[in-house]
Amino acid sequence: MSGMGDRFNQFIGKTRFMVCRILVHLSGADAAPLLGVLNQSARNAVDADGSMRELGEGLVDVCQGLLERSSSWQSAANEGDVIWDEGEAGDYVTELFTDSAQRYLSSGDLGEGDPQAPLTLPVTRNLIVMIVIACEGEVPELETDLAEINALETALKTLINLHYQDRYRAIQVHFSPAQLGDELTDEQVLLNFPELIPL
């Protein structure tokens, strides 16, 4: 049925918007170093002041960082929709953004200790990366179940290509924990990211 609706909307000249969110859970020693890439991308996004080109460059760095650490992938999930109204697509992006932003739960105890002791930060063994994008047109590589390693690899490469094709209308990247020194426990992963499917 949706295929017929797609053809009808294309026939009457409507623009097809694809909005999706991809979640990737990394675990192990390689998870924490990716926080540096994510935080640099976040700083650049703030400086970009909404420039889709700059946001896209940051997303490319994040995707390449994830691809380089594929051996650390534990689980993944994705969701999304095809929308034929730009305002509704924007509303859905906002909904996914708000949900992602509420998932920063982590526990880092940097409280009072021995002032003479060297500063040590706990290194998280869990990292969740949440990518929300909106683009125009069809993207079969993202409009499928990504809870499988090959499909996820293809999807991340597709995200990189979409940047170079100038197809993005929105890009947002969230991650938990949000900074070095915070720790995302196994229990928090299970409680706050129940949609994740083991890879």
Residue 36 lies in a domain: yes
Domain extent, residue 58, equals 18-104+123-198
Residue 118 lies in a domain: no
Residue 4 lies in a domain: no
pTM: 0.85
Quick check: bond before 177 cis, omega within 30? yes
Residue 1 lies in a domain: no
**pLDDT 10s digits, 125-184:** 899 999 999 999 999 999 999 999 999 999 999 999 999 999 999 999 999 987 766 788
Confidence tier at 105 by pLDDT (50, 70, 90): low
Residue 12 lies in a domain: no
Residue 115 lies in a domain: no
Tell me the CA distances in angstroms from 191 to 52, 69, 157, one per residue in order: 33, 24, 29
Q: How many CB atoms lie under 10 A from the CB of residue 12?
A: 7
Give the residue among 3, 9, 62, 68 at the shortest CA–CA distance from 37: 62
Does residue 115 surpass a pLDDT of 90? Answer: no
Distance CA 180, CA 102 (A): 18
**pLDDT 10s digits, 40-50:** 998 888 888 87
- Counting the structural domains of the chain, the total is 1
Residue 13 lies in a domain: no
Is residue 82 within 8 Å of 2, Cβ to Cβ?
A: yes
Give the residue among 93, 118, 102, 121 at the shortest CA–CA distance from 35: 121
* CB-neighbour burial class of residue 23 (10 A; exposed 0-12, middle 13-18, buried 19+): buried
Residue 158 lies in a domain: yes
Give the per-residue pLDDT at 33: 84
